[in-house]
Structure 1
Amino acid sequence: MPSGPRPSDVPRLRTALKAYRISAAVTGTFLLLLVLMMVFRYGFKVDIELGGPFGFLALTPKDQITAINLSAIILIVHGWLYVIYLGIDFIMWRLARYSFGRFLFIALGGVIPFLSYYFEIQVPPYIRARIAQTTDAAPAAQEVTA
């Protein structure tokens, strides 16, 4: 596969990069909430209850929850946010045309805590460099054909 994005894909790639930065931050935040929830659930045998008889937010044994089980909501929301994160990663991979291994590596950002924050900093310069290669190469290609 040729390296670098096509010149026609650059505007969509810039949009995908903005969406990626947002999804990386949000997915990373929910991943940290998920880790905290798992520590409560499997370490202390309690779930997070919202608006129950024990207060606005309470750590309650799972079988005693009568209000909103916030732990289940965190699980579900993180799952869907990770799907969105993967989708945006796929779009960037398709448009920027980097290696499949890098795609898989970036996909780990929604699974390993704090990695999405690292990628939120590291991926944009990489994508911008690929865009710069394309925009620098496009005028040179036009001069050759002229």
Structure 2
Amino acid sequence: MPQPKLATFPAIRGALRFYQIASVITGCMLLLLCAEMILKYAFGLELFLGGSGGLLWFAHVDAFGESTGDGTNLSLGILIAHGWFYVVYLFACFRVWSLMRWGFLRFVTLALGGIVPLLSFFMEARVAREVRAYLADREATELHSRAEHSSLTQQIPTENQR
């Protein structure tokens, strides 16, 4: 499998930070989405802001799945926000995946973090740990090989030293 170039390491660090932020936001939005789905389909309730019920209130959902509340439907807002944050999360996953030159299955695993509840939190910690360890190891190896190379070139006599 091809390895990332040393010149891309700053970009990898930036992509990793963006991935970590997107992962936490997407994970929180997914948990809100799960809570909203449980409220709607198990209890027949949707969350509203403003309207006839007060500042924050729950309205019942009728038998056809239509909301009976007035005001701003926060349940719908959670659905839309999660969808857009998931797109941002996929972009963050793609960025880390492409810069690290991982296989396609790894991208699929990263993408599942925004679909499976709580997985994004575990994936974020694991990916951050793996990427940081990889970067540190590659930089140490490169530094060691450069030091060996410079010490070898210093030992080779030049024309003036002979």
Return the offset for 1:111: 0.5
- Report what 1:70 is aligned to: 74
- Displacement of 1:138 in angstroms is 3.3
Aligned residues: 144
Gaps of 5+ in 1: none
Q: Note the alpha carbon deviations across 1:92-113, whole angstroms, 9 max, x for none.
A: 0111112211111111111011
Higher relative contact order (CA 8 A, sep 6+): 1
Larger of the two Rg values belongs to structure: 2
Q: 1: CA distance between counterparts of 2:141 and 2:102?
A: 17
- Runs of 4+ in structure 1 off by over 4 angstroms are none
User: How far off its partner does 1:141 sit?
Assistant: 7.0
Aligned residue number for residue 59 of structure 1 = 58
Please state if 1:86 is matched with 2:90.
Answer: yes
Identity %: 38
Residues in 2 aligned to 1:26 and 1:65: alpha-carbon distance in whole angstroms: 28
Alpha-carbon shift at residue 115 of structure 1 (Å):
0.7
Q: Which amino acid aligns with 1:120?
A: E
Write 1 or 2 for the structure with the bigger share of helix: 1
Over aligned residues, Cα RMSD in angstroms? 1.9
Gaps of 5+ in 2: 62-66, 154-162
Pairwise mapping of residues 130-141 of structure 1 onto structure 2 (< 5 A)?
130-139=134-143, 140=145
